[in-house]
Structure 1
Amino acid sequence: MTAAAASPPVTTLITTPTFARHSPEPWEILASAGAGPLRPYEDTALSHTELLARIGTADALIVGMDTVTAEVIDAAGRLKVIAKHGVGVDTIDLAAARARGIPVVCAPGSNSRAVAEYTFGLVLSAFRGITTAHRQVMAGEWPKVFGPELAGRTLGVIGFGRIGRLLAGYALAFGMTVLAHDPYVTDTPGAERVDLDDLLARADVVSLHLPADPATGPLLSRARLAAMKPGALLVNAARGGLVDEEALAALLRDGHLGGAALDAFAHEPLPADSPLRTAPRVLLTSHMAACTPEANRAMGVLVAEDVVRVLAGDPPLRPAT
């Protein structure tokens, strides 16, 4: 008799370079369950081509902003679970995963405070010209940049989940009035619940906190951006697909909008020819709102725990589907 062939080792393909960057605990959870990573920590995310090439030998997949298409899922013959190292799963083809019976998990609430704090920082910096003054001082100048106070201004929050509620609390502490639009939420403590058109017409600051839907196009189309209150500031630390970026750049140039502070873009990294790069009154950062050590640890631990559960045959604690 011949001995049965040994089963291949369980492997976890990790595409996001920020996984467990600030805590060894997520790595230890995977390793202790025998689900050690197929790909060790690297400084750049996998390309789509490399993801397709590597997915065939993975039992689990942990992704960041990678697009997990039906093509990727079809190429994953051994895949048992997909984990989003974060919250939004709009870059994962959930229908294709369901068709294959592959659970998709995420880390709800893990980065809410980090994103809310960062978003409010964008508001403060954009209103008071903090980064503009920094650049000028570094260039040898000594400017006096004037910007409005927040007290008495109106913040419009589109998407009133965990992040939107935290942001509303910060705004109230600064003396702002808060409007909230979220068709799935009826309870908006501290905020007036309004429809989208009313929010856009009244808000001095509009902040986005919801997933994008590629099938419907940008939520803030050219028409909706044009319907914003003249001189208003747009803040987006959610998803780039929510905003018509060309229209936004045009409305900044013609002076209709007072500014834009963006941490998320339709294409990342931001292309060299993006019209936002040359638009006036913009503050652009590199999708880093969730980048705190606390959030990094929490995201890693939550997804590692669910990966291990699913690989052991148990239902996930935090399913996205």
Structure 2
Amino acid sequence: MPSAVATAPRVDATQRGLMLGALGVVIFALTFPMTRLAVGPQDAPQLPPAFVTAGRAAGAGLLSLLYLWLTGAPRPQRQHLVALGLSALGTVVGFPLGIALALREVPAMHAAVVTGVLPLATAAIAAAALRQRASAGFWICAVAGCALVLAFAFREGGGRLTTADGWLLMAVLSASGGYVAGAKLATQMPAEQVISWVLCLSLPLTLPAAWFSWPTQPVAASAWWGFGYVTLFSMWLGFFAWYRGLALGGTLRVSQVQLLQPFLALLFAVPVLGETLEPTTVLFALAVLATVVIGKRMPVQAPGHRAAATRSNATTDPTA
């Protein structure tokens, strides 16, 4: 009986982490079609990729500044600055810039499947940085899911990778490093404060960059709608759910939910951009879903995770 009582909070935290991670993935899945709306294709360019990158971070940074002031959030301590800087490099600069440049050249569906390797990259970096250990079965499922999305990307790209694919892979590496740094911080402070401080500390860079890259030509209203979404949701609110989910459920396990992100992005690209969804895409989506479900059941050991989850639960759960 005592052991059952002792493990109950951990199980509850894991499930809540998975649900919050899934919510973050749904929000992030719309990033690709919305970014495509914002930058436009090569034959009908809209907002400059540099402006979308800097402007979305600057806008979210100003919202974060207001949020931190209204909530009276304490300033980050000196030992937090390195992780905040790494998170900013990955999530504020690397990932947004990579996808903005790539989406000028390729459709949102192509970008979605190439970035399907993000969960494996996140899990690999987490294993090294956070000293988390997963079973062989977990890694088999992760590799199988990533192999599926890569096979889909090569199939759609005619068996080759383009310059845009290079930008997308850079975005993947940037985001995975930023996610791990943010997840580590989310065990020490509320997740909402993590992304907000990341964005605030980036303002000296993002505000001038947004000003100097401001579009000089008229753009369609849809481009501004896309820009508004990636600013409010992709750059800010989505991380509220994502970082808290990673902290509660464990970075290795929750990151695998992101295997579904490229296929959700494919589905969203149909109504938002009018792109065509092929039956093959549905088959790949079902196969990836199977790897996520099976992988979620595989054992994951995260040294110190129980204590971290308990601290995070006490500091970030508004019902606690």
Normalising by structure 1, what TM-score? 0.27
Bigger RCO of structures 1 and 2 (CA < 8 A, at least 6 apart): 2
More helix by share: 2
TM-score (norm 2): 0.27
